Every structure is written in structure tokens, then in C-alpha cells.
Structure 1
Amino acid sequence: MGSHEGEVRDDSNKESQQAAQALERVTDHVEERQLDENKVHKAMVALAEADKANREAQRKREKELAAVKISAEDVEVIANEFAIDKKAAELRLREMKGDLEAALKSYFD
């Protein structure tokens, strides 16, 4: 009987080890998932901040361009010369600080 009890203890010990290993795998998986979720969260926050900064920069740029004085006649010249929409011609003229010659040349650069 003594040797038989030893076998039972070995099996019991083996089962305990297997259970402990299985629990450790589950725990590792949960920890990895939490790390991944933290990485995703940090990345999403960084993207949101970058998007906000881009929108602010775009608004600032639009405000600066809107402040540039331009001539309606110059917009007409660009629109007619390059057969483009007046809004696109106006934008190009504003980007060139209202300089008609620079705006016209910019289409050839």
C-alpha cells in the first residue's frame, strides 16, 4: 500500500503543477492583453492630440490666408489663364501673398 500512495501523491503533484502552469498561462495572457490595451489607449490619445494640433494649425493657416489682400481681377486672370475654379485661383493667389506674377509662375514650378 505504501508504494501505491506514493503514486497517488505523484499524480496529485503533477496535476497541481499542470494546474499552476495553466493558471500562469492565463495570467500571462491577461497581463499581455492589458499591456496591449494600454498601448492602444496611448496610441489613440497621441493620435487625438496630433489631430487636434493639425486642426489648429489648419485654422491658423486659413486665418492667415484670409488676411491676405487680393484683387478680384487677379483671381479672374488666374482662373481664365489656367481654366481652373475661382476658389482654387483665389487660394493660389493668397498663398503667393497676393502677388499675381508669383501665382502665375507657381503653376510652372
Structure 2
Amino acid sequence: MTEESAPIDDDKLEKKKKHDAESAADLEKVTDFAEEKEISGTDLASVLVNIEEKKKAEIMKIKEKERELAKVSIKKEDVELIIKELEVTKQVAERTLRENGGNLVAALTTLVHS
């Protein structure tokens, strides 16, 4: 009886091994494999320098925009009207007027739609 059951067990064992091998191969196909790369100190330093330069450029751009907005003349009456009618702060009223070139109607329209 043991001799008859041995060939059956060998067949099952071979099928299981074959199935396991196929499963492992399928798993290798779907796994995303990326090799780890060592980053050198100079590469890292250059990346950090680039980031700092971009930040400085953005800050300069914002400062330049603020300077341009500060040059725009606005009327005190327009600021007061916006504050009274739309119940916004003085800073919001002034900023919106400056962004719209001092045009009261455009500033009101912008604030109503925002």
C-alpha cells in the first residue's frame, strides 16, 4: 500500500513545486523593483542650492509685485465705501483696489465674486 501511495504523493509534490515556481515568477513580473542608488554629497548639495535659488526667486517676485501694487494710487473714499458696504477689513479693501488698478467697480465686482 505504501508503494502505491508514493507515486501519487510524488505527483502532488511535483505539481505543488511547479505551481509555487509559477506563482513566484508571476509575482516577480508584477513587483516593482527599483535599485537603490547612492546619492553623493555633491549631488545633494547642488539640489539644495537649486531649491534655495528657487525660493529666493519666488520671494523676489512677490516683493516686486508688492512694490508694483504700492505704486497704485487709491482713493480713501473708495476704501471706506468697500469697508462699509461689503464689511471687509481695510487691508482687504486696499489690496483689492490696488490689484484692480484703483478701479472701484472692478474691485467691488472682484470682492462680490470671491
TMscore range, shorter length: 0.5 to 0.7
Q: 2: CA distance between counterparts of 1:77 and 1:43?
A: 50
| Cα distance in 1, alignment partners of residues 109 and 77 from structure 2 | 17
**Cα deviation, residue 59, structure 1:** 1.2
Q: Alpha-carbon deviation of 1:41?
A: 1.7
Question: C-alpha distance in 2, partners of 1:82/1:44?
Answer: 45
TM superposition shift of 1:55: 1.1
Match of 2:38 among 32, 40, 57: 32
The CA distance in 2 between the partners of 1:60 and 1:43, in whole Å, is 26
Larger helix fraction of residues: 1
User: Which residues in structure 2 correspond to 1:17-28 (within 5 Å)?
Assistant: none
- Equivalent-residue separation in structure 1 for 2:112 and 2:80 (angstroms): 18
Structure 1 gap segments, 5+ residues each: 1-30
Aligned to 1:14: none
Which runs of structure 1 show a deviation greater than 3 angstroms over 4 or more consecutive aligned residues? none
Take 1:82 and 1:103, find their aligned partners in 2: how far apart are those partners?
A: 11
Q: Which runs of 5+ in 2 are unaligned?
A: 1-36
Q: For residues 70-108 of structure 1, give each alpha carbon's deviation from its aligned partner in whole angstroms, at most 9, with x where no partner exists.
A: 001101111122211101110000000000000001123
Structure 2 counterpart of 1:59 = 63
Secondary structure of the residue that 2:51 maps to in structure 1? helix
TM-score w.r.t. length of structure 2: 0.61
Provide the alpha-carbon RMSD of the alignment: 2.0
TM-score, structure 1 normalization: 0.64
> Secondary structure in 2 aligned to 1:32?
coil
% same residue: 36
The residue number in structure 2 matching 1:107 is 111
Look up the equivalent residue of 1:74 and give its one-letter code: D
